[in-house]
């Protein structure tokens, strides 16, 4: 099939069967699984998902040039209810209607320009997936799992909802056209909003954002610009966070504890 990739849609089609197989292993695809695939392109991964015996593959494709191609290629699977091709933008798609009230997983080689937005859309969705196995830029995957030991807004935001794992590096040569950087398979498992059962979600993300506002400054200095300095000192002591700590040195547990401490302090002031 000859079709030029659209740069505007960030299309880099995967052409490695070994990499596709690695994604399926990471997703642990089972016969009862509903799989949401974002940006199936020419259906390379879709074909693997169907061959692996997924219960149903729902592929959402934005490029109108590919819809008829996909529907023709997977006509039999569509007829038997094993596959559904949806023409649309995933960010405007009602996931609840797609999954039909059943749990689902996401397996996709996603357009890199929507990586952060898409991860947030899925993790914060009212019906989030059980698990996500996605292809992202290598640098982004490394940041999410904090490979260098330094946390970021992105890594903390993902950890707040699930457990990220770096599966493997995927060299640029395994795509057509070749991107300018290497990629990586990233898994996010055990997805839930349980951390926010007793923690104010909006306040949590406000605190994290402010905490990372000035990376060279100490965390207590960044938060002390927004909240009462003495209160921050007391909260750090309760949470066992060093006064000399920087935002990148604090893990999810620290941020949750700080959020609860600030929430209690604000409540007392009312």
Supply 157's token pair.
């935001």
Q: Is 55 annotated as a binding residue?
A: no
Q: Is 225 annotated as a binding residue?
A: no
Q: Looking at the DSSP assignment, which residues form a beta bridge with residue 187?
A: 133, 165
Cα angle 10, 12, 17; round to 5: 150
Contact 93, 131 (CB under 8 A): no
Q: Is 64 annotated as a binding residue?
A: no
- C-alpha span between 236 and 230 (Å, rounded): 10
Q: Is 61 annotated as a binding residue?
A: yes
User: What does each C-alpha distance from 39 to 67, 109, 184 come to in angstroms?
Assistant: 11, 7, 17
Q: Residue 263 burial (CB < 10 Å; 0-12/13-18/19+)?
A: middle
Q: Is 89 annotated as a binding residue?
A: yes
Q: Is 123 annotated as a binding residue?
A: no
- C-alpha span between 19 and 182 (Å, rounded): 13
Binding site members for S-adenosyl-L-methionine:
12, 14, 39, 61, 89, 109
Binding site members:
12, 14, 39, 61, 89, 109
């Amino acid at each position: 099939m000859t079709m030029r990739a659209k740069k505007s849609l960030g299309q880099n089609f995967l052409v490695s069967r070994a990499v596709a197989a690695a994604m399926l292993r990471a997703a642990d695809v089972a016969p009862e699984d509903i799989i949401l695939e974002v940006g199936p392109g020419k259906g390379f991964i879709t074909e693997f998902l169907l061959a692996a015996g997924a219960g149903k593959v729902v592929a959402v494709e934005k490029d109108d040039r590919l819809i008829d191609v996909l529907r023709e290629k997977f006509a039999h699977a569509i007829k038997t209810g094993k596959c559904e091709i949806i023409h649309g933008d995933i960010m405007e798609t009602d996931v609840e209607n797609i999954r039909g009230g059943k749990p689902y997983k996401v397996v996709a080689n996603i357009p890199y320009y929507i990586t952060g937005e898409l991860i947030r859309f899925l993790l914060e969705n009212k019906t989030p997936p059980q698990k996500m196995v996605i292809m992202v830029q290598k640098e982004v995957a490394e940041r999410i799992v904090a490979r260098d030991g330094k946390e970021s807004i992105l890594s903390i935001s993902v950890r707040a909802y699930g457990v990220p794992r770096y599966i493997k590096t995927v060299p640029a040569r395994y795509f057509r056209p070749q991107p300018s950087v290497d990629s990586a398979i990233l898994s996010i498992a055990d997805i839930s909003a349980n951390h926010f059962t007793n923690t104010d979600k909006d306040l949590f993300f406000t605190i994290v954002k402010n905490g990372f506002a000035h990376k060279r400054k100490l965390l207590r200095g960044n938060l002390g610009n927004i909240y009462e300095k003495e209160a921050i000192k007391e909260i750090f002591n309760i949470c066992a966070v060093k006064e000399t700590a920087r935002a990148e040195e604090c893990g999810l547990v620290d941020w949750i504890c700080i959020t609860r401490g600030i929430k209690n302090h604000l409540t007392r002031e009312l």
